[in-house]
Amino acid sequence: MRIPKINLPLCFNTARLGWRLLLIVALTVFAPSLTLAQQNEAEPAGAITLEPGADSDALIAQRLSSIFSQIPQFESLEVNVNSGVVALSGQIANEAQAQRALKLAGRVEGAIAVDDRVVRTLDLQDNLNPLWDSLQNTLRGWVRALPLLLVAFSIFAFVAFAGHRLAGHTPLWSRLTKNPFLGELAGHAVRLVTILLGLLLALNILGATALMGTLLGGAGVLGLAISFAVKDSMENYISSIMLSIRQPFRAQEHVIINDYEGVVVRLTSRSTVLMTLDGNHLRIPNATVFKAVILNYSRNPQRRFDFVLGVDAEDDPALAIQTGLAAMQQLDWVLDDPEPNGIIESVGDSNILIKFMAWIDQRESDYGKARSLSIRAAKNALETRGFTLPEPIYRLRFDQAPATLAAIDSSEKSAIAEKPSKGALESAPEPPPDDVLNVRPDTHISRQVREERNDTSAEDLLDDTRPIE
């Protein structure tokens, strides 16, 4: 029994996917620029209260000026408040910062409206300085997080490599599952589980376990969509697993699967390979084989053949059956147990159809040859005993008058006189050669199948040690 090879490229692709996922998570966790941006945008909601009992306009202006002085981008803004209307003036770098300043001014308690008098300078230096500061903060964050990242990557690599080595132990999984295909499937499952385990440990070290749940949820939705897209492929894959467990046939067996006939070559993880009786390869998807009606000619060595012969309506059908059976019992390839049999199948207008049935051993006799020579023996026996095998009868009608015979000259008369008699033409034929009467099984297809199966590099899930279900 040959053990299938593990699909290493698929394993390496899965490991690379895990590395990329871990890198994306690290970028998300250790990106100070993103954190800084979130802090800038996520400002607390609600009004900014003032001290009670004081001049409202002065307090509003003082409160906003103190707030803007703490933010470098807003230091140049001027605040004027009159009757609760806040007027902001000055210069600012871009529209985003201006809108942020306006929102802060609108949240101060007592501010009825905010008048926007801010000039957007769109200065190159003012807009690039925050980006440069963010980049520096990001680089410093990566430097600080580098030891933790190395530990996380090391743990992921160690767990993934250990799982890969364990999954590659093919003899172990074959002994546990007693099936090479299931052993290969178990190895792939172990490899995938260890990669996910390593990724989970690395994310725990990086403090991104919540992100792991999000990724798993997204993977579930994506897997459901993919399963609908590859429904036929999944059905074929599951059918391959079931066929490898059930073992519905063996190699070298003559089967009919639905309308496809041939000799079984091998069972692969995708299809069932047959050698047709004319020597061609036939691949049937395993999903079709699993649901098909399978007729196995090789499971029982004894096989019955039948044929129909007609005799004249005036002949005795019982005597015709006895004559045909007696001739068939003299044949070496016809089995005595069960013995040959004959029945009257139907009675027509001018003939009686008799159905003869007999059994052969397929290990010793070819089905087609045995049936052909049995028909010959029964037909000759019926004709020898004087039975008439009906022939088609045609009635011809000539509306015009028949032509008169022309005078025959002397040369034509001499030619007719020298013509051999009918009895001389019907002399006894020579007996057929021995190779025509040979009914030994044809082993050409079997030899071709054996040559195909000698290729040990080809995948085969058929196991002669497992029972057939």
What is the structure's pLDDT at 309?
Answer: 93
What is the structure's pLDDT at 467?
Answer: 66
> Could you give the CA distance from residue 460 to residue 453 in angstroms, rounded to a whole number?
9
The torsion angle over the Cα atoms of residues 254, 257, 261 and 265, rounded to 10 degrees, is -50
Q: 306: which strand partners?
A: 357
> Could you give the CA distance from residue 195 to residue 22 in angstroms, rounded to a whole number?
11
Provide the pairing of β-strand 351-361 with 341-347.
Answer: antiparallel
> Could you give the CA distance from residue 306 to residue 327 in angstroms, rounded to a whole number?
15
- Phi then psi dihedrals of residue 362, to 5 deg: -65, -20
Tell me the mean pLDDT per 10 residues along the chain, length 469: 44 53 52 42 54 69 86 84 87 83 85 85 68 78 80 86 79 67 73 82 75 70 70 81 86 91 90 91 92 91 93 90 93 92 88 94 91 94 89 65 46 43 46 66 82 75 71
Angle (nearest 5°) at CA 237 between 236 and 242? 95
Cis peptide before 467 (omega within 30 of 0): no
Residue 401 DSSP class? P
Contact residues for 34 (Cβ-Cβ < 8 A; gap 6+): 28
Structure tokens at 203: 């994310």
Angle (nearest 5°) at CA 40 between 37 and 41? 90
What is the structure's pLDDT at 422?
Answer: 40
Indicate whether this model's pTM tops 0.85: no
CA-wise closest residue to 265 among 252, 247, 277, 256: 252
> What fold, for 302-384?
Alpha-Beta Plaits (3.30.70)
Give the domain ranges of the chain.
Answer: 302-384
160, with CB counted inside 10 A (0-12, 13-18, 19+), is buried
Sheet of strand 85-92, all strands in order from the earlier edge strand to the far edge: 78-82, 85-92, 113-120
Sheet of strand 351-361, all strands in order from the earlier edge strand to the far edge: 302-312, 351-361, 341-347
305 near 360, Cβ under 8 Å? yes
Return the HEC string of 442-463: CCHHHHHHHHHHCCCCCCCCCC
- Phi then psi dihedrals of residue 293, to 5 deg: -90, 120
What separation in angstroms does the CA of 213 have from each of 24, 216, 218, 224?
Answer: 15, 5, 9, 17
Return the HEC string of 328-346: HHCCCCCCCCCCCEEEEEE
Q: 255: which strand partners?
A: 262, 296
81 near 110, Cβ under 8 Å? no
> Could you give the CA distance from residue 21 to residue 212 in angstroms, rounded to a whole number?
10
> Could you give the CA distance from residue 366 to residue 134 in angstroms, rounded to a whole number?
86
- Phi then psi dihedrals of residue 396, to 5 deg: -110, 140
